[in-house]
A and B are shown apart, each in its own frame.
Chain A
Amino acid sequence: MILARALPVFVVGLILFFLAFPIVVVTVVSFSDATYLTFPPPAFGLRWYEAYFSNPDWLKPTWVSLWVAAAVVVLATFLGTLAALGIARLPKGLKIAATGLILSPLIVPGIVVAIGIYYAYSRYGLVGTPIAMVLAHTCLAVPFVVTSVTASLSGIDPRLEQAALSLGATPGATFWQVTLPLIRPGVLVGALFAFITSFDELIVALFISGTGAVTLPRRMWDDLRFQIDPTIAAVSTLTIVLTVALMGVAHLLRKRSPA
């Protein structure tokens, strides 16, 4: 009887260990003081973080990634929120077609999107520019903004907007004072997802970042082809902390919002 109860707990514990352990190892290795990759580390230190923060070859791609992601947030949140507001009121046929187009990057395999974008962008001399990265990443980020805003829109009582309009508020005032405050959590969650989508994206970056817009994931990928030195563990740990913090905020926002 005790076995019958303990066995499932043990099995689930083991699988959870499998899920968490690789992330834990990368984090622990990043604080190693050894000059080579070994686990458990013989001593702890910040050697690999120093290596990262003192190397322009790492810092430059970090800035490129941060700037590209920031621009993607602005563009994707603006276009996505507007579109979500419109799509909610479109007639059914158009609505399905528009949603299909906007959400398709979630389903179309990454490599197909990447080489399609590479094929077209290279014709217009865009490859290797940060602008191309922003334009392409926005396409990949927009589905998250639209789904998130649509979810909070569907939780709004339409009578609130009707009441504002019938009480004499202009459509603009209704949007700013009624609709936007109600969907704000959804917009914020979408913006956070947009940031992480761009910041973590690799496949499109492999094809269109060229030499002029090398992003952080692309730099890690290039480095991993030659060596797996612990600097990458330090970079990985920093990106894990950043994305987990942002996703944690998004998770809490989504849980608290009524939608």
Chain B
Amino acid sequence: MSEIVQPAPVSVPLGAARAFSFNWRKAVPLLLAAPLLIYMLVLYALPVVAMLLRSLNDPTWTLAHYAALLEDVVFIKTFWITFNTSITVTIGCLILGYPVAMGLVRAKSMAPFILLIILLPFWTSVLVRSYAWMVLLGRHGLVNEALIAIGMIDRPIRILNTPLATQIAMIHILLPYMILPIANALRQIDPSLVRAASGLGATPFMTFRQVILPLSMSGVAAGTLLVFVLALGFYITPAMVGGPRDITLSMLIAQQVDHLNWAYAATLSAVLLATALAILAAARKLPGVGNAFRMSVR
């Protein structure tokens, strides 16, 4: 008897599961994502959009705030400083980052140790790292003492609160963002290509110039863009170690909010955001860049 009845209880949940899996495909994904999407819209996206709208509707709908920027000396100077700092920092990261990426990929037993040294500062907050540079670059800081000790200068020079301090600290903070994508690209190079080049009589330099460098360009492009876009928005580091007159766009925005000058702050924010997005949009077409952005960004 029992042998005959047995299939029945099984077929009921099977049918139910099938009926349910139809709904599952349609509505459940959206229902699962909805809480977070609503949360992000209400508590993040709409606030940012509402703030940005102040650049267009204060006091009535107008483009006057944007038009005014074109003749705004403070804005032009700040934009130039921000852009210039970002370019300098990006070049610095590229020059320092490429050799380390090569070292990381080539090293065998030392590789975990090198990775640790790269990740240790990467995992430390921007505030703490900026503070470290305040300690190092101050009038009686280690860098000044060392320069005096080796006889390059006779009395302390001003490094802290200069553009140079901002550049050094920002290069230090952003360097891992350059190293990791380049190392990724280098790792994907087929070692037999390098062997073939040297087997065919290429010097190590020629192999680098004609094989390794071109094949690592996707990583270089990704790292360069990542560093540049992140550098554009820097606020804490330039405010802490930079010069009092070398104001970046982010610092100007914060200053305007303190003065409750929302229309101006919103206009500057829109320009900063548009610049970052424009660069990213242009870069998305480059190969390998998408991968780099998926890596953790802080």
Task: Tell me the complex Cα distance, A147–B30, Å.
Answer: 18
Check if A18 sits within 8 Å of B172, measured CB to CB: yes
Min C-beta distance of A240 to chain B, whole Å: 5
Q: Which residue of A lies closest to B47 (CB)?
A: A120
Check if B44 sits within 8 Å of A139, measured CB to CB: yes
Check if A105 sits within 8 Å of B35, measured CB to CB: no
A204-224 at interface with B (beta carbon < 8 Å): 206-207, 217, 220-221, 224
Q: In the complex, what residues of A have CB within 8 A of residue B232's CB?
A: 109
- Quick one: which of A22, A26, A119, A146 contacts B262, CB cutoff 8 A? A119
Check if B36 sits within 8 Å of A117, measured CB to CB: no
Check if B240 sits within 8 Å of A20, measured CB to CB: no
B30-73 at interface with A (beta carbon < 8 Å): 30-37, 39-41, 43-52, 54
* Interface status of B182 (Cβ within 8 A of chain A): no
Check if B29 sits within 8 Å of A87, measured CB to CB: yes
Task: Tell me the complex Cα distance, A72–B271, Å.
Answer: 31
* Interface status of A90 (Cβ within 8 A of chain B): yes
Check if A80 sits within 8 Å of B127, measured CB to CB: no
Contact A111 to B10, CB < 8 A, known contacts A80-B36, A221-B127, A239-B125: no
- Quick one: which of A19, A79, A105 contacts B44, CB cutoff 8 A? A105
Q: In the complex, what residues of B have CB within 8 A of residue A4's CB?
A: 204
Check if A243 sits within 8 Å of B257, measured CB to CB: no
Task: Tell me the complex Cα distance, A94–B138, Å.
Answer: 52
Number of A-B contacts (CB under 8 A): 254
Q: In the complex, what residues of A have CB within 8 A of residue B235's CB?
A: 109-111, 203
Check if B127 sits within 8 Å of A79, measured CB to CB: no
Check if B273 sits within 8 Å of A112, measured CB to CB: yes
User: Considering residues B36, B47, B232, B262, which has the most beta carbons from chain A within 10 angstroms of its beta carbon?
Assistant: B36
Contact A23 to B40, CB < 8 A, known contacts A86-B33, A90-B30, A109-B233: no
* Interface status of B269 (Cβ within 8 A of chain A): yes
* Interface status of A202 (Cβ within 8 A of chain B): yes
Contact A116 to B51, CB < 8 A, known contacts A82-B33, A107-B276, A171-B24: yes
Check if B40 sits within 8 Å of A117, measured CB to CB: no
Number of interface residues of B (CB under 8 A): 88
Task: Tell me the complex Cα distance, A102–B134, Å.
Answer: 35
* Interface status of B133 (Cβ within 8 A of chain A): yes
- Quick one: which of B172, B250, B254, B298 contacts A197, CB cutoff 8 A? B298
Spot the interface stretch: A46-54, A56-64, A162-170: A162-170
Min C-beta distance of A189 to chain B, whole Å: 10
A176-200 at interface with B (beta carbon < 8 Å): 193, 196-197, 200
Check if B40 sits within 8 Å of A101, measured CB to CB: yes
Min C-beta distance of A244 to chain B, whole Å: 5
Q: In the complex, what residues of A have CB within 8 A of residue B17's CB?
A: 165-166, 168-171
Min C-beta distance of B92 to chain A, whole Å: 11
B1-48 at interface with A (beta carbon < 8 Å): 10, 13-14, 17, 20-21, 24-25, 28-37, 39-41, 43-48
Check if B51 sits within 8 Å of A119, measured CB to CB: yes
Q: Which residue of A lies closest to B140 (CB)?
A: A38
Min C-beta distance of A208 to chain B, whole Å: 11
User: Considering residues B25, B37, B141, B280, which has the most beta carbons from chain A within 10 angstroms of its beta carbon?
Assistant: B37
Contact A240 to B124, CB < 8 A, known contacts A29-B135, A168-B10, A224-B134: yes
Q: In the complex, what residues of A have CB within 8 A of residue B20's CB?
A: 170-171
Check if A98 sits within 8 Å of B127, measured CB to CB: no
A62-81 at interface with B (beta carbon < 8 Å): 79-80
* Interface status of A247 (Cβ within 8 A of chain B): yes
* Interface status of A259 (Cβ within 8 A of chain B): no
Interface 0/1 of B173-186, CB less than 8 Å to A: 00110000000000
B213-258 at interface with A (beta carbon < 8 Å): 229, 232-233, 235-236, 240, 250, 253-254, 257
A86-135 at interface with B (beta carbon < 8 Å): 86-90, 94, 98, 101-102, 104-113, 115-121, 135
Check if A90 sits within 8 Å of B134, measured CB to CB: no
Task: Tell me the complex Cα distance, A29–B131, Å.
Answer: 12
Q: In the complex, what residues of A have CB within 8 A of residue B269's CB?
A: 109, 111-112, 115-116
- Quick one: which of B10, B24, B102, B118 contacts A19, CB cutoff 8 A? B118
Check if B132 sits within 8 Å of A23, measured CB to CB: yes
Min C-beta distance of A31 to chain B, whole Å: 14
* Interface status of A253 (Cβ within 8 A of chain B): no
- Quick one: which of A79, A116, A248 contacts B47, CB cutoff 8 A? A116
Check if B35 sits within 8 Å of A82, measured CB to CB: yes
Q: Which residue of A lies closest to B258 (CB)?
A: A207
Chain B residues near A (Cβ < 8 Å) = 10, 13-14, 17, 20-21, 24-25, 28-37, 39-41, 43-52, 54, 96, 99-100, 102-103, 114, 117-121, 123-129, 131-136, 138, 140-142, 145, 172, 175-176, 204, 229, 232-233, 235-236, 240, 250, 253-254, 257, 262, 265, 269, 272-273, 276-277, 280, 293-294, 296-298
Q: List 15 A-B contacts (CB under 8 A).
A: A12-B103, A23-B129, A29-B135, A39-B142, A86-B32, A90-B33, A107-B276, A111-B253, A115-B269, A139-B39, A139-B44, A147-B296, A170-B20, A220-B131, A243-B124
